Amino acid sequence: MAKSTRGQKLSETSLDVNIPSYTGTPRSLNYGSKSSLKSDEEHEPKLKRAVSFLLEDNNFLVAAETGNDKLLEIIIRKGTNIQQQDYLGRNALHLAVCAGNKRAIIILLDAGVNANVKDNVGMTPLSLCLMRRPSLDIANLLFDHGAVIVPRSNPVDTGLFLQFVMMCKPTYEEARILKLLVEKGALVNDPAAPGGRQALHFAAMSNNCVLIRILLDLGADMYLTNHRHETPKDVAITYKCRDTLTILQEFEAN
């Protein structure tokens, strides 16, 4: 039987986990006619907040998203509220990271924009850096200016390290980011992982041999079990991942 945690279930037959979705820019939304909008506002508080945001003077956030570093510096010198957020809870750093604007990111970090603010779906600028545009350079910048790997918000929260593991190939850049995350406190072997599912379980399930070798080099324990008492090796057998099984057997023999 599946175990329920705060209304959400851990599947007994899969390795499913909860990963937050990623929202787009408010300027990409189509809000319809004024008459229909007025009606929607009465019933949709979120839409009303979105429209209110669009009608405000948000030059600071727009400059951050578009990478207009000169305008950013001018606005900051004028004493604007650099911690302001849009209707999705994103601050200027979220937007600059999403767009990959390194110069804007540096300006914002030097000005003191909070690097650990969560948006409405729980994403920090560091989370977005890893999920949208994985960059070792930007990740290091964020860490150097106080970014941290934010703890899980609830027992079924996958956590940043596992999210990144499941979404990376990994490329050479992503492999270096994995190492950086571990250096900054991420747990390769996490006793609090939802359902006991470790990074190595997910790598084994997807037959990702490159990722498996990286995780083993980072100290992944191949004998930890998930909530079905399966080791990564058991998962490889279940999903018929022969290459993974070979690697794990070789590692076990050594």
Residues 109, 113, 115: CA angle, nearest 5 degrees: 80
Structure confidence at residue 254 as a pLDDT band (50, 70, 90): confident
Mean local confidence (pLDDT), 228-235: 98
Specify if 18 maps to a domain.
no
**Domain termination site, one of 84, 118, 148:** 148
Specify if 124 maps to a domain.
yes
Specify if 55 maps to a domain.
yes
Structure confidence at residue 14 as a pLDDT band (50, 70, 90): low
Contact 179, 211 (CB under 8 A): no
Indicate the range of 23-32, 36-45, 174-183, 221-230 predicted with least confidence.
23-32
Assess whether 180 and 228 both reside in one domain: yes
Assess whether 137 and 189 both reside in one domain: no
Assess whether 42 and 87 both reside in one domain: yes
Q: What is the pLDDT of residue 19?
A: 55
Assess whether 94 and 76 both reside in one domain: yes
Specify if 137 maps to a domain.
yes
Q: What is the pLDDT of residue 34?
A: 46
Specify if 9 maps to a domain.
no
Q: What is the domain range of residue 35?
A: 31-148
Assess whether 125 and 158 both reside in one domain: no
For all residues of the chain together, what is the average pLDDT?
86
Specify if 20 maps to a domain.
no
pLDDT at residue 25 greater than cutoff 50: no
Assess whether 132 and 214 both reside in one domain: no
Specify if 118 maps to a domain.
yes
Any idea what the CATH number is for the domain that residue 210 is in?
1.25.40.20
**Domain termination site, one of 148, 181, 205:** 148
Classify the C-alpha dihedral 44-49-53-56 as positive or negative: positive
Mean local confidence (pLDDT), 183-208: 97
Assess whether 118 and 137 both reside in one domain: yes
Phi-psi region of 86 (alpha: psi -120 to 50; beta: other; left: phi over 0): beta
Assess whether 65 and 49 both reside in one domain: yes
Structure confidence at residue 165 as a pLDDT band (50, 70, 90): very high
Whole-number percent of the chain with pLDDT over 70: 78
Assess whether 162 and 125 both reside in one domain: no
Assess whether 229 and 196 both reside in one domain: yes
Classify the C-alpha dihedral 102-105-111-116 as positive or negative: negative
Indicate the range of 25-29, 33-37, 217-221 predicted with least confidence.
25-29
Structural domain count of the chain: 2
Q: What is the pLDDT of residue 153?
A: 86
Assess whether 126 and 220 both reside in one domain: no
Structure confidence at residue 28 as a pLDDT band (50, 70, 90): very low
Q: In angstroms, rounded to a whole number, what is the distance separating the alpha carbons of residues 26 and 89?
A: 12
Concatenated DSSP letters of the chain: -PEEETTEEE-SSS---B-------GGG-----HHHHHHHHHH-HHHHHHHHHHHS--HHHHHHHHT-HHHHHHHHHTT--TT-B-TTS-BHHHHHHHHT-HHHHHHHHHHT--TT---TTS--HHHHHHHTS--HHHHHHHHHTT---PPPSSTTB--HHHHHHHH----HHHHHHHHHHHHTT--SS-TTSGGG--HHHHHHHTT-HHHHHHHHHTT--TT---TTS--HHHHHHHTT-HHHHHHHHHHHH-
pTM of the model: 0.79
Mean local confidence (pLDDT), 223-252: 97
Specify if 25 maps to a domain.
no
